Amino acid sequence: MMIRPRRNRKSAVIRDMVQETQLQAANLIFPLFIIEGNNQKTEVKSMPGIYRYSIDNLLREVESCLNLGLKAFDLFPNIEDSLKDKYATISYQKDNLYLRAIEAVKKNFPEACVVTDVAMDPYSSDGHDGIVENGEILNDETLEILGKMALAHAESGADIIAPSDMMDGRIGYIRQVLDQNGFTNVSLMSYTAKYASAFYGPFRDALNSAPKSGDKKSYQMNPANVREALIEAQLDAEEGADFLMVKPGLPYLDVVKMLHDNFDLPIAVYNVSGEYAMLKAAAQNGWLDAERSTMETLLSFRRAGATAILTYHAKEVLANGWLTR
């Protein structure tokens, strides 16, 4: 045989030399959960190794990550039920938990990139991403609240604002609000193709943000659809998005690749809580090798075309030196 592909696999040096896909710390964004209090650190039962932090411990965690070379963080708040209402008004009130956390991270670590989540569900008594009236999620009325929330994040120091609500037109609305208030340099990472997925359970457990009634199928995408993501992506690009995101990750690699192939914007992917929990459970039971399964998963996102990967594995990958082995 004149052509033997195995010749390029015969040693570790050659395999590294011809490796097509690279994964670096710069590709990773670490989601972090925030709670009220002092010196608080509580593990999320369904996500081994992942914790909710009070702001003082959040700062310690961010510093630890920065020392490992991990520089981007996506913050999510666990809000007490007593503070929630129908219109998520606490979400943009000064000195709320989330805004204090953003300000604290940027004040203490200006070199860190802070990504913030814009959606009503963590603050809503209904647990939905929009205003609920007679069982219907109101789209246009919700935009005003999302705009106030995004502006509050920008004023607190957010580098990238990531609307995760899936309301129509929210990227254009938020972009206009930010620009009119002098925040033209704040980026928008749109949850472009966010699917109505079964893989979000542990995340909702971490934030206590599950819908109180109904589901999110009227605004999140149908898992059976792929071409619909092109419509969402075209709209987000035209409205001013700086990144296009696909969520979840593993079941939607085809969507990641399609957006990468059709748009010049950077593509982000969210390796969600359920995906993390599955690998952790399998590794703890000895069914999978933790390092190999984690790295194979993350490389699959890069291979499909994702530039930014939001993943709960981010810190362990760097702390264990998995990127350098």
Could you confirm whether 10 is annotated as catalytic? no
Q: What number of CA atoms fall less than 13 Å from residue 185's CA on the CB side?
A: 4
Residue 146: which H helix or E strand, with range? helix 140-156
Q: Note the helical H segments in 52-125.
A: 55-68, 97-108
Residue 92: CA count within 13 A, CB half-sphere:
17
Q: Which of 307, 306, 310 is nearest to 273 (CA)?
A: 310
Task: Give CB contacts under 8 A, 24+ apart, made by 236-241.
Answer: 236/171, 236/190, 236/192, 237/263, 237/265, 238/172, 239/169, 239/171, 239/172, 239/175, 240/171, 240/172, 240/175, 240/188, 241/171, 241/188, 241/189, 241/190, 241/192, 241/265
Q: Which of 84, 148, 216, 247 is catalytic?
A: 247
Cβ neighbors of 147 (< 8 A, separation 6 or more) are: 173, 174, 177
194 is catalytic: yes
Which H or E run includes 142? helix 140-156
Catalytic, out of 194, 216, 280, 315: 194
Q: Are 311 and 272 within 8 A, CB to CB?
A: no
Catalytic residue numbers read: 194, 247
